[in-house]
Amino acid sequence: MRVINPDHRLIAHKLTYLRDKRTDSPTFRRLAEELMTLLAYEATREVRIEPFEIETPVAPTTGIKLSNPKPLIVPILRAGLGMLEGMVRLLPSAEVGFLGMQRDEETLQAITYANRLPDDLSGRQVYVLDPMLATGGSMADAIHYLRVRGADDITAVCLLSAPEGIAHLEESVADIGCPVTLVTGAIDERLNEVGYIVPGLGDAGDRLYGVAQ
């Protein structure tokens, strides 16, 4: 597994305000979108393309366009939705699927409760979005789920990652049979005793959308 942690001051700047507990939900959502767009530049560096013949106002030339089948963007519900707009802004012609996964707070294991994905992902590049790579269980399960359906190039994009989550993910996808890349805005210190990233930014879903009473 390839891990990309871009060294960019704007990424660090936006992460600082995302981490700040005083940042309200509307500002948090906007910053998450902006940070996602920055990370998307790195995540899509090797997106598949093909030649495309055009005519400029001056002369014919050959450009490029995204290859078919189009890339598939898969946010993991619910927190991954906060990253979707930032990714779609960069890849407007990509298709979007959804995968519902949640963590059992006692076992820390991921549970899949919903999906809206094509049955056949053969030949597809897939970008999986989830703000936090903590234990790595949800992302590992998502990647295996996509691979079983035929995805042959999978990139995980996370705002923050813990070393434990990266190690678990790397071990989980070692024999998966297709390239896997992790793009993350930062690699934090560790997980605490209840599986939260330290220093982290808290519960990304709650900070994006609030807590329903």
Could you tell me how far CA 83 lies from the centroid of its own chain? 8
- Active-site residue among 37, 103, 149, 153? 103
Which residue shows structure tokens 């704007």? Answer: 10
| Contact in structure between 71 and 91 (CB atoms under 8 Å) | yes
Beta strands 2-4; 180-184: pairing state: parallel
Measure the CA–CA gap between 174 and 169, rounded to whole angstroms. 8
Q: Is 141 a catalytic residue?
A: no
Measure the CA–CA gap between 4 and 42, rounded to whole angstroms. 8
Q: Is 188 a catalytic residue?
A: no
- Active-site residue among 7, 107, 119, 175? 107
What does each C-alpha distance from 176 to 4, 148, 171 come to in angstroms? 19, 9, 10
Q: For the chain, what's the residue count? A: 213
| Exposure string for 182-202, b = 16+ CB within 10 A, e = fewer | bbbbbbbeebeeebbbeebbe
Q: Write phi, then psi, for 22 (nearest 5 degrees).
A: -80, -10
Q: Is 107 a catalytic residue?
A: yes
Which residues carry out catalysis? 103, 107, 203, 206
